Structure formats: C-alpha cells, structure tokens
C-alpha cells in the first residue's frame, strides 16, 4: 500500500473504518450464522410414528434428515431403532399391539437420540 502524506490521514482513517465496518457487518454475522447452522443441524424432530399391526409395518416421520440404526436385542426380544440427532415432537409414546409385536414404545434415550422399541 502506498504511504499517504499526513494531510491525507483522514483517508487512512476511512480505510480503517471501512475495515471495521466490513468486520462488524459481514464477517462476524457470517461466522455467527455458520455456528447457528452447525447447532441447528442436529435439530431433527420425530413428528409422528405408527405401527400397522395387520401388516407388521412401522413407519415414522421426521422433520429433517436422520440416519437410523437398528438392532435386535434378546431377553426379552425387542427391535431397537435409534434416531441420532433427533428429539421427540409432541407425539404419543406407546401403542399396545398384540400378536407377534406386543407393544411399541418411543422415548428420548439421551439429549441427542430418540429411540423406538418394538417388543417381540
């Protein structure tokens, strides 16, 4: 950058002021926006679920994407489906089924994982 004579120090001040303006009006909000998006990425909500006993079909709907994991656990036998990064919405938490599937329960395993359990 070219050195300016002292009488042009006002221009140098303006340049510094523009730099601060860019920092306050563009850079900081951009960083805060990225952080906010990072925090909301795990904000998936389990909106509804249902078990159709006549067809043995469990369906659930989430607001946002989720990659479920499932495992079969013995004694008593149950199918456990974890929904990482998901919280429960305003939904019912159980359904008595009968037959091969005794009941289906839904709960919050921890602050970041919703769980669906089907007792077999």
> pLDDT per position in the chain (120 positions), as tens?
444 444 433 333 333 344 434 334 444 444 444 434 443 445 799 999 998 888 888 999 999 889 999 999 999 999 999 999 999 999 999 999 888 889 999 999 999 999 999 998
Looking up tokens 């950058």 gives: 1
The set of residues, in sequence order, having a beta carbon less than 8 Å from that of 80 and lying 6+ positions away, is 70, 71, 72, 73, 115, 116, 117
CA distance linking residue 62 with residue 45, whole number of Å: 5
> What per-residue confidence (pLDDT) applies to 60?
92
* Phi and psi at residue 75, to the nearest 5°: 55, 75
CA distance linking residue 75 with residue 104, whole number of Å: 16
> What per-residue confidence (pLDDT) applies to 117?
95
């Amino acid at each position: 950058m070219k050195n300016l004579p002292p009488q042009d120090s006002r221009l140098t001040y303006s340049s510094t002021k523009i730099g601060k303006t860019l920092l306050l009006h563009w850079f900081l909000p951009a960083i805060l926006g990225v952080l906010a998006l990072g925090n909301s990425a795990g904000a998936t909500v389990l909106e509804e679920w249902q078990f159709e006993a006549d067809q043995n079909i469990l369906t659930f709907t989430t607001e946002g994407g989720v990659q479920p994991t499932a495992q079969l656990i013995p004694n008593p036998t149950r199918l456990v489906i974890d929904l990482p990064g998901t919280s429960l919405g305003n939904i019912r938490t159980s359904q008595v089924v009968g037959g091969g599937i005794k009941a289906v329960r839904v709960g919050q395993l921890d602050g970041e994982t919703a769980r669906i359990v089907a007792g077999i």
